[in-house]
Amino acid sequence: MKEDVLEQIIEDWLLSQSGTFTKHNVKYRPSKTELDYNSKADSSHSDIDVLAVHLNESGKKRVSVVSCKSWQQGFNPMSWHDALINNPSDKKFANKKVWKSFRELVIPKWSNAFREKIYEETQSYDFTYYIAIAKLSGGKEAEVYKSVFETEKSFLSLLKKNTNSKVEIKIITVNELLDEFFNKPNSTTLEATLVGRFMQVLKASNFFNQTKSITSKKP
C-alpha cells in the first residue's frame, strides 16, 4: 500500500492499462556537474511519485510520469501557473516555497535531473507528465487555466531533452480516474488492482444508483 491514497489510485489506474509496468517513489537529484550545483541545497533527493511504461504504446504515450498533489482544497491552475511563472522562489504555499512542489518545471538543474532519471529508467525522453489532483479549484475559469498550465511553453521546454522530444503535460482529477474504472464494460473477470476491484464491487452492488435514488428523495 502506498503512503498516499492518490498514489495508490494512480498506480492502479495505470496498471489497469494493458502491458503496463510501474515503479513508485523514484528518487532523483541534480548532478554535481551542474554549474549552479549547491551541495547544501541539492544533496537531498526529490522523487517521482509514479513512473509507468506502457509496452503497447509509442511516443509520448509509452511513458507516464506522475506527480501526485492530494491537496484537500484542490488545485487552482491559475494561481499555480502565475506563482510558478512569476518569482517562484519568493512565494509560498502551505509554508513551503512553491518551486519545491514543481521544481522540475521551473529549475533547470532539477529539470535535467528529472528528465535524465526518466531516461535511465525507461530509455525514453518522450513521456506524458501527469499532475494528479483531488479536484480543480478556482471557479469557472479553472478549466480554461488548466489548459493554459498544460501548454505553458516554459514548462514544456524544461521537460524536453531537445526539440525532437515529445512531451505532454496533463492535469487529471480523482473523478476522471474513477470514471475510467467505473465506465469499463461489465466483466465477471476480477480486476487486477485493488481500486479496480473495489469499483467493480460497487458497480455490482448497484451502490451508485441507490445513492442517486436516496438523494433525489430528499426534500
Question: pLDDT, tens digit, for every residue of 28-70?
Answer: 999 999 999 898 888 899 999 999 999 999 999 999 999 999 9
Predicted confidence at residue 148, as pLDDT, reads 96
What does the alpha-carbon distance between residue 219 and residue 176 come to, in Å, rounded to a whole number?
Answer: 30
Query: Residue 208 is placed in which grid cell?
Result: 451508485
* Sheet (strand 20-28) strand order: 20-28, 46-54, 63-69, 127-133, 167-173
Nearest to 28 by CA among 105, 114, 99, 112: 114
Average pLDDT over residues 127-156: 95
How large a percentage of the chain has pLDDT more than 70?
90
Q: Which residues pair with 95 in a beta bridge?
A: none
Question: What are the E-state strand segments in 104-216?
Answer: 127-133, 167-173
What does the alpha-carbon distance between residue 206 and residue 182 come to, in Å, rounded to a whole number?
Answer: 12
Is residue 1 very low, low, confident or very high in pLDDT (cuts 50, 70, 90)?
very low
- Helix/strand/coil for 94: coil
Predicted confidence at residue 201, as pLDDT, reads 85
What does the alpha-carbon distance between residue 22 and residue 12 come to, in Å, rounded to a whole number?
Answer: 9
Predicted confidence at residue 214, as pLDDT, reads 44
Average pLDDT over residues 164-169: 97
Query: Residue 63 is placed in which grid cell?
Result: 511513458
Average pLDDT over residues 189-210: 77
Average pLDDT over residues 190-214: 73
Is residue 219 very low, low, confident or very high in pLDDT (cuts 50, 70, 90)?
low
Q: What Å distances lie between residue 123 and 108, 166, 182, CA to CA?
A: 21, 14, 33
Question: pLDDT, tens digit, for every residue of 84-115?
Answer: 998 767 777 777 888 999 999 999 999 999 99
